[in-house]
Chains A and B, each alone.
Chain A
Amino acid sequence: MDTVTQSSETTRPSVGENSPNKQFIEIKDLSFYYGEAQALYNLSFDIPEREATAFIGPSGCGKSTLLRNINRMNDLIDGIRHEGDIRVNGTSVYDPLTEVISLRKRIGMVFQKSNPFPKSIYENVIYGLRVSGRNKKSELDQIVTESLQGAALWDEVKDRLHESALGLSGGQMQRLCIARAIANQPEVILMDEPCSALDPIATGKIEELIHELKKEFTIVIVTHNMQQAARVSDNTAFFYLGKLIEYSTTENIFFNPANPQTEAYITGRFG
C-alpha cells in the first residue's frame, strides 16, 4: 500500500497510482498564518482530477482554511501570510500574474450556509456570467437550464425561474448555490460543509449530486460528518491542529488507517 503519512515522508503524499486521473491541485509546503497564529503547518499533497476529495478533522484543524486558500477567499482577512504554494492545473494561485477574479471563476465554491442573493432564481444562477459582462439572452437561458439540471433542481423550479430565490427550501437553496457555482463552468468545486445545515433528505440529494458532479468537476469537500466523507469521497485527508495526519483513498482511511490518531478520530474516540 502506498498510504503515506506526513510525519514519515519527505516526498509529497498523493493517492498516486491508485487514481487513474492526473493530479489537479498540487499543494507544496504550504504554511499559513493569521497574523501571528499559524493555522497550517507545511502541508504537501496532491488532489486528483474528477474525483471527490474530503477534508476531515476536528474543528479548528485548518481544513476550511486550506479550502479557502485554494480560491483565495482568505484574501478578505487582514494580516494573513503564507509560505509554500498551491498550484491548480499547473498555475500557482499565489502568482502575482494570477488574476484572483478569473481564478475564482475557475474554482467555484459552495458555502456551509446557503447564501443565494435576494434576486430571482434565474438571476442567481447567472450572477457569475453577469459580472463577467455576458448578457446574451439565448446563451444565458441555455446555461440556466443546464446548470439547474446539473444541480438536480430544474424540475422543481422550472416554472418559477423569475421568482425570488429566497422562497426556496433550505435544500433547494443549497442546490441553487451549486447551480450558481457550476454556471461559471469551473474546473474545481470547493464545498465547505455543504450539508451541515440541512435535514437528512436534503443531505441525501446533495450527496447524490456530488456523485454526478465528480464526473465533470474536481470536487473538494470539507465535512464534519464521517459517514458523509465515506459515502461521497474517493480520497480523504485527515487534519489535526493544522497538520496533515494522513491522506489516502477513502477506503484506506476508513478501513485501514495507518496512523493511530486517524483511527481514534474515525472511531469517535476524540474530536
Chain B
Amino acid sequence: MSSKTSNYQSDRPRGETLVWLCSAGLALGVLMVVILLGLIFWEGLNVFWPKSVVEATLKEDSSYKLGEFPTVAGVVVKRQKNSRTGIEEWQLLTGNKDAYGAMFKYIDTEEIASLEYPEGIVVAERMEYGNSIFYPLSLTLRDGTKLSVKDADFWPTFEHALEEVRHRYHEIHELEKNTIGKINRKVNTLTIKQRQFEREKAEGKTLHEKDLKKVEDRISTLQQEFGILAAKAKELRAMQNDEVLEYRLSSGQIRSQPTGDFVGFHKPNEMGLLDKIGFFFRHIWSFLSERPREANTEGGIFPAIFGTFVMTVLMSACVMPFGVVAAIYLQEYARQGTFVRGVRIAINNLAGVPSIVYGVFGLGFFVYMVGSTIDQVFFSDRLPTATFGTGGILWASLTLAIMTVPVVIVATEEALTAVPRGAREASLACGASKWQTIQRIVLPASAPGILTGLILAMARGAGEVAPLMIVGVVKLAPSLPVDGIFPFFHLERKFMHLGFHIYDLGFQSPDSEAARPMVFATTFLLILLVVVLNLGAILIRNHLRKRYATSTF
C-alpha cells in the first residue's frame, strides 16, 4: 500500500509551496495592520473610560511620601519591572501637578503596605494644571455660607456651582470672542479708512473733512461699547472666583481653589457600569466638540477635526476637476506619441516626490508669489500685515491638491481606457461629436474609477503633515476657517490639523507623558475621519456603478 501511494506522490506539483509563501505574506500584512489598528483603537478609546482611583498606604519609612500622610492616590497607568532592581513598580497618575510638581509618580510595590479603593475620592478636571484627585472638605458659597461635605445638599450644590461656572465660561468666551471680536474688526476697518482720509488730507484734499469726523465719531462710540463689554467680561471673570472649594489631598495637604478653576468632576470608585458608560460617551463628546486647553494637552480637538475636514474637502474640490480635465485631454485628445508618453512618465514620477518638496513649493509659489500679489492688489491698505501672503487653509489645500493630482490623473486615465470601445462607437454612430460622447457616455461610465482615484487622493491628503507645517497649519488657531462672520469662508486663515496635532502633542508638548492619551485619541480620530471620508466616496461610487454599469453580455 505504501508503494502505491508513493507512486502517486511523485506527481505532486512542486510549485504549490509558493502558495503558502504568498498567503504567509498576506497574513503578515493583515496581522500588522490589525495590530496597529487594534492598538490605536484600544488605546484611543481607553482614554475616555473612567478608571478607579487606588489609594496606596506606604510603609512607615517610605521615601515615596508626597505629604505628611503615608498615602498616595492615583490611577495605575503602567505596571512594569524596574530594569535595575527587578522589583515591580507602578506608574501612578496622581494628578495635582500644582501641589506635587508632576502628574505621575513611580512607586515600588514593595514599599506598599496596603491598597484600597476609597469611596468619596473625587477626580476633577481643571482649567489648568491637569486633573486633581482629592477628598472634598467644604464649599464656601457666594453668600458666605459654608457647606461641609457631610451636609446632605453638598453634592447637588457643588454640581450646580460647576454648572454655573461652565455656563459663565461659555458666556465669557462668547463675549470676548464674538461680540468684542466683531467690534474690533469694525474698529480695524474704520481705522484703515481714517488713515486713508488723513493721508488724503495731508496731500491737500479737503474733500473728506466731514467723513473723517464721522469715522472718528464712529470709532469712539465703538470704543465706548467695547469698554462696556470688556467691563462685563471682567465682572464675569471675577464671579468665577466667588465660590471656593476646600479639599484634602490623599497625602494630607489641604488646599482651596475657586470653583471657576474646575471643569467637571466624577467619583470613579462609586460609579456603576451604567454611570461609567454614560461618562465614557460624555467624555468622547466633549473631546470631539470642545476647544483644546493647556497647550493642547487637555480639552477637545474640535478645531483640528474641523480644519482637517475643511482642508480635505477644499483639496478634493480643487484636485477633482483639474485632474479629470487633464486626464481627458491626455487620454482622449492628445496624439499618443513620445511627448505624451513623456508627460505620463513625468506624472507618475510626481507621485513619488517627497511631500515636503511640495510644501516648499507651496510656500514659494502660493504664499510668497500669489499671496503677496493678492495682498498688494486687493489688501494693500492692510499691509504690512499679510492677509493672503502668509500660510492659510487655501494655500494648504492647493498645495495638497498639487501633491495629489498625479493620483487622480492616473486613476482617471485608467478609468477612461476601461470604457468599452463599443459604448463610444455606439455614441459616435448615432451622430454624437467626440465631446458629446465623452460627456454623455464616457465620463458617466468611468465615474466610479475616477472616484477611486479621488478616494486615494483624499486618503493621502488628509493624512499628510509635513507640507502643511510650512503652508498654514498652526498649533492653536484662534478661529475656525468657516464661521458666522461675513464672508463666512475665511480661506486666508491659519488652521489646525489632526495630523499636525498628533505631532505637536507627542513631540512638542511640555508634558509628553500627560499628552500620551491625547495622542492615541487624536490618531484614532484621524483614522476615523479618513475612513468616514473614504466610506462616503465608496458609497457614491457604488451608487454610480449600479447606475452606469455598461452592458456585459
Q: Which residues of A contact B (CB under 8 A)?
A: 71, 73, 76, 78, 101-102, 104-105, 108-109, 111, 113-118, 127-128, 130-132, 165-166, 170, 173, 177, 180-181, 184, 197
Contact = CB atoms under 8 A, between A and B. Distances in A.
Interface size band for B = 20 to 34
Nearest to B550: A118
Nearest to B548: A118
Nearest to B444: A118
Interface string B428-459: 11111100100011001100000000000000
B547 interface: yes
Interface stretch (B303-311, B419-427, B490-498): B419-427
A42 B432 CA distance: 31
Contacts of A73: 425, 428-429
8 contacts: A73-B425, A101-B431, A105-B431, A111-B429, A114-B551, A115-B420, A127-B440, A166-B551
Interface in B215-248: none
A78 B336 CA distance: 9
Contacts of A197: 553
B330 to A, nearest CB: 15
B427 A127 contact: yes
B440 A118 contact: no
Contacts of A180: 426, 430
B546 to A, nearest CB: 10
A128 B547 contact: no
A27 B444 CA distance: 38
B549 interface: yes
Nearest to A78: B336
A115 B336 contact: no
Nearest to B547: A118
Contacts of A184: 430-431
Given A117-B423, A131-B436, A173 B551 contact: yes
A115 B422 contact: yes
Given A78-B336, A131-B440, A115 B423 contact: yes
Contacts of B425: 73, 76, 109, 111, 115
Given A115-B422, A118-B444, A131-B436, A104 B549 contact: no
Nearest to B430: A128
A58 to B, nearest CB: 23
B147 to A, nearest CB: 73
A187 to B, nearest CB: 13
A64 B420 CA distance: 19
Contacts of B336: 78
B429 A71 contact: yes
A173 B552 CA distance: 11
A173 B420 CA distance: 16
A113 B428 CA distance: 15
B436 A116 contact: no
Contact of A117 (B335, B427, B431): B427
Interface string B535-552: 000000000000111110
Contacts of B428: 73, 76, 104
Q: Of A78, A117, A127, A170, which is in contact with the most chain B CB atoms at under 10 Å from its CB? A: A117
Top 7 A-B residue pairs of the complex, sorted by shortest distance between their CB atoms: A105-B431, A128-B430, A115-B422, A109-B429, A131-B432, A115-B426, A104-B431
A118 B423 CA distance: 9
Given A127-B432, A132-B431, A118 B445 contact: yes
Q: Of A101, A118, A173, A177, which is in contact with the most chain B CB atoms at under 10 Å from its CB? A: A118
Nearest to A118: B548
Given A117-B423, A118-B548, A166-B549, A108 B429 contact: yes
Q: Of B426, B440, B550, which is in contact with the most chain A CB atoms at under 10 Å from its CB? A: B426
A102 B441 CA distance: 19
Contacts of B551: 114-116, 118, 165-166, 173
A34 to B, nearest CB: 16
Contact of A118 (B335, B436, B549, B553): B549
A184 B235 CA distance: 81
A117 B429 CA distance: 13
Contacts of A127: 427, 430, 432, 440
A265 to B, nearest CB: 28
Contacts of B444: 118
Contacts of A78: 335-336
A72 B440 CA distance: 21
B191 to A, nearest CB: 57
B406 to A, nearest CB: 26
A104 B429 contact: yes
A170 B426 CA distance: 16
B357 to A, nearest CB: 37
A135 to B, nearest CB: 14
A216 to B, nearest CB: 18
A121 B357 CA distance: 52
